[in-house]
Structure 1
């Protein structure tokens, strides 16, 4: 097994290579405006550090969000292109699941919530029974609307840190940004146990900003 994992659904441009036993190389850069510029060099760097080549891959793992449109599509299109070119499967995973898994690897146990920054004063979030078990669908909401329903739960992720007043117990010491290494480890576990994956399609959770005007004038040739 040789998995290439990548995620651009958050400000982190993150890539990792997993050989079926462990992560053999990884790259993590936080820059919300340079996903397209940084991703492919990161893939080259990770492969070079591991001494492996693209044609050795047995699969591609990609975080499918939720996340903003511009960043999210960079990772998903890249993953799909690699998979199609190399004729290997592409495995989609919820980006929040990767953060939850990383929190568990860092020692967090019990029920908790993961929240990332969705901009517009909102967060993408989901609730977890443990680091491997998500119990709600990913959602996007204003942090203030979550204070009561998530009362008492530990919260992790950049969204929780940014809006700490809306959460009960924010763990800023735990991973705040996505890690492809955690995503790759989670994917390797699911492949070994027959776990489920998501299709490589983006979880936007919002309508696109650009829309056709409601009452635009149609011009037809005479």
Structure 2
């Protein structure tokens, strides 16, 4: 399988190429620079692999939640590439990718994802890992960090920049349930 994945929904701009089990990726924290960076990243990955876009099997992208403009950038780029090359497209939740990253990086089995949505709100979701895959528990939501419902049980891992930005609001309320609160940054290898 040959899969291209891009994400521009957060402060990071990233692209990854999965070719028959081998992963290549480019990741850069670059708020407000995604438009300039994403296509050269894609071109560089394809050149390194010696592939043309039409040789891919599919394209995946971070569909959000996330920055409105960032989500639109990824959607537009993927739509243009996929239409021109007649490729299928797969949208991946930014929060699900964060949860999957927490599992792959730390072995987290239960993950609380919080991404800064600005205006003192977070994009929020709870995930349980089942057979190596992050499965959403309930629904993704947008909420004030002070109004989030406490999850049941313990042994939760934290993922996303919301845990750093709203440290006082979130950690104080959830500390008893948290096993690990190191941030997980969304990287496209999580999607692959």
Per the shorter chain, which TM-score range?
0.7 to 0.9
> Would the aligned equivalents of 1:2 and 1:18 in 2 still touch at CA under 8 Å?
yes
Which one of the candidate residues 155, 162, 167 is aligned to 1:164? 167
CA distance in 2, matches of 1:28, 1:150: 32
> Would the aligned equivalents of 2:108 and 2:157 in 1 still touch at CA under 8 Å?
no
Q: Greater strand share, 1 or 2?
A: 2
The 4+ residue runs of structure 1 with deviation greater than 6 A are none
> Would the aligned equivalents of 1:16 and 1:46 in 2 still touch at CA under 8 Å?
yes
Alignment of 1:43 onto 2:42: yes
Distance 1:30 1:18, change over 3 A: same
* Per-residue CA distance 1:45-86 (angstroms, 9 max, x = gap): 222222222121111001100012111100011111111110
Give the unaligned 5+ runs of structure 2. none
Q: Normalization by structure 1: what TM-score? A: 0.75
> Would the aligned equivalents of 1:164 and 1:170 in 2 still touch at CA under 8 Å?
no
Alignment of 1:183 onto 2:184: no
> Would the aligned equivalents of 1:6 and 1:61 in 2 still touch at CA under 8 Å?
yes
- SS of the residue 1:125 aligns to: strand
CA distance in 1, matches of 2:2, 2:180: 33
Q: Normalization by structure 2: what TM-score? A: 0.86
> Would the aligned equivalents of 2:5 and 2:60 in 1 still touch at CA under 8 Å?
yes
* Per-residue CA distance 1:98-143 (angstroms, 9 max, x = gap): 1111110112333221111111111111101125211122111111
Q: Greater helix share, 1 or 2?
A: 2
* Per-residue CA distance 1:137-183 (angstroms, 9 max, x = gap): 2111111112x5247533211111222221323745352x2111111
CA distance in 2, matches of 1:73, 1:83: 15
Distance 1:70 1:29, change over 3 A: same
CA distance in 2, matches of 1:72, 1:61: 13
CA distance in 2, matches of 1:84, 1:49: 23
- SS of the residue 1:137 aligns to: strand
> Would the aligned equivalents of 2:4 and 2:16 in 1 still touch at CA under 8 Å?
yes
Decide which moves more: 126-135 or 151-160: 151-160
Choose 1 or 2 for highest CA Rg. 1
CA distance in 1, matches of 2:61, 2:17: 12
Alignment of 1:149 onto 2:157: no
CA distance in 1, matches of 2:55, 2:187: 22
The alignment covers a number of residue pairs equal to: 181
Q: CA deviation at 1:91?
A: 0.7
CA distance in 2, matches of 1:134, 1:41: 33
CA distance in 2, matches of 1:142, 1:60: 33
- SS of the residue 1:109 aligns to: coil
> Would the aligned equivalents of 2:2 and 2:58 in 1 still touch at CA under 8 Å?
yes
